[in-house]
Amino acid sequence: MKNLDNQGILFEESLLKEIKNKFYHVDFDPVYNFERLFFDNAGGSFRLKAANEAFKKMDELPDCNEHSNRTALWLADIQKKGIEDIRTVFNAKSGSIVTSLTASMLIFEMTRAIIENVPGNNIVTTALEHPSAYDSAVMYAEKTGKEVRVAKTNDKTGGVDVEEIVKLIDENTCLLSVIYASNISGAVNDLESIVKECRKVKPDLFIVCDSVQHAPHGLIDLEKTPVDAVNFAPYKFFGVRGIGIGYLSQRAAELPHNKLIAKPAEEWELGSPAPGHFASISEVVNYVCWIGSNYIKSENRRELYSEGMKKINLHERALMYHMLNGSTKIEGLRNMRGVKVFLDYKGT
């Protein structure tokens, strides 16, 4: 991770109190009735009240957002707004927004479409991948008779060095599948450099990026990292379960895939997605933009979102710094007897 004031910057107490009040069950387990601090950030997240309430409101309605009555048209507008907000998350000015039940299902489908339809005799991935990305790459490589090349991790940083990936790319590489941030080691790969350097070797290289773990903690910017497919999971980003969200570049979206015959070539949606999911996503984006609005004045939603994500990242960085190094009141993990911190190096 690039150094954003390595010690980070905590939110002011007054703002932190407002933030806390926007979420359910921050410091209490309602099932077993005890106080706790929830840190399982790799497998879920706190639930934003506004996101859950928006989903519930939409889901109570019997109307179909693909019909023509007034409420149906209103729901269609909710979905349209949600898609616009998803584009805000990705900074995607073109391409297709796609959904499925889970982000893992999406990565399988996006990977399949590329491997089965793009020329090349090898696929490059990394040892750091989530099973959905790694297994789908291996499965469809075996199905199509293509070689799988795996970039090794850096034992010191827990990430994958740019050059380890680049050296495996050649003119016959069909696909690069690379994770943005690891839910195991916490490492954030330098995706911008990876995309840039790999496309120096093969300019038209197709790239899939699993961003499920990165999206809640760092900014995604497809203008800087123009990959062909990327995904995230709302349930790990203050939202609700039951949907995975992805982006496909125009060329990737038009590859052969399951679709209704009458739909446009780049359409991936099958059936009627629940408008509540899109309303929930809009509330997540509203929340991040609200944080941004506490620091900058702007009418541009992407600018507010970017600032909000920057402040979230800095706050998390500060929490990590204090956890490792302690404070005047408590000893940090680095100095506790009997505690070994893995992947601990200068710069963390």
CB 54 within 8 A of CB 279: yes
Is the pLDDT at 186 greater than 50, yes or no? yes
CATH number, domain at 151? Answer: 3.40.640.10
> Which tokens go with 329?
């009141």
Is residue 17 situated within a structural domain? yes
Range of the domain at 90: 1-259+279-320
**Sheet holding 147-151: strands in order across?**
96-100, 244-248, 229-232, 206-210, 173-179, 122-126, 147-151
Amino acid at 230: V
Position 348 scores a pLDDT of: 63
Mean pLDDT for all residues in the chain = 94
In the three-class reduction of DSSP (H, G, I as helix; E, B as strand; rest coil), residue 284 is classed as helix
Is residue 335 situated within a structural domain? no
Position 44 scores a pLDDT of: 83
Position 4 scores a pLDDT of: 47
Is residue 242 situated within a structural domain? yes
Residue-wise pLDDT for 136-166, tens only, equals 999 999 999 999 999 999 999 999 999 999 9
Closest C-alpha among 316, 345, 266, 325 to residue 9: 316
Average pLDDT over residues 44-65: 94
Is residue 264 situated within a structural domain? no
Q: How deeply is 105 buried, as exposed, middle or buried, from its count of CB atoms within 10 A (0-12, 13-18, 19+)?
A: middle
Q: How far apart are CA 327 and CA 37, in angstroms?
A: 19
Position 236 scores a pLDDT of: 95
Is residue 291 situated within a structural domain? yes
Q: What percent of the chain has pLDDT over 90?
A: 88
Q: How far apart are CA 68 and CA 347, in angstroms?
A: 56
Is residue 216 situated within a structural domain? yes
DSSP notation for 53-108: HHHHHHHT----TTS-SHHHHHHHHHHHHHHHHHHHHHT-SSSEEEEESSHHHHHH
Position 347 scores a pLDDT of: 64
Is residue 329 situated within a structural domain? no
Provide the domain count of the chain: 1
Is the pLDDT at 65 greater than 90, yes or no? no
pLDDT band at 64 (very low <50, low <70, confident <90, very high): confident
Position 38 scores a pLDDT of: 83
Position 269 scores a pLDDT of: 92
Is residue 330 situated within a structural domain? no
Residue-wise pLDDT for 224-261, tens only, equals 999 999 999 999 999 999 999 999 999 999 999 999 99
Compute how many other C-beta atoms are within 10 angstroms of the C-beta atom of residue 127: 11
CB 91 within 8 A of CB 221: yes
Question: What phi, psi does 126 have (nearest 5°)?
Answer: -130, 165
Average pLDDT over residues 288-299: 98
> Which tokens go with 93?
């000015």
How far are the Cα atoms of 42, 83, 97, 153, 160 from residue 150, in angstroms, in the given order?
23, 34, 29, 9, 11
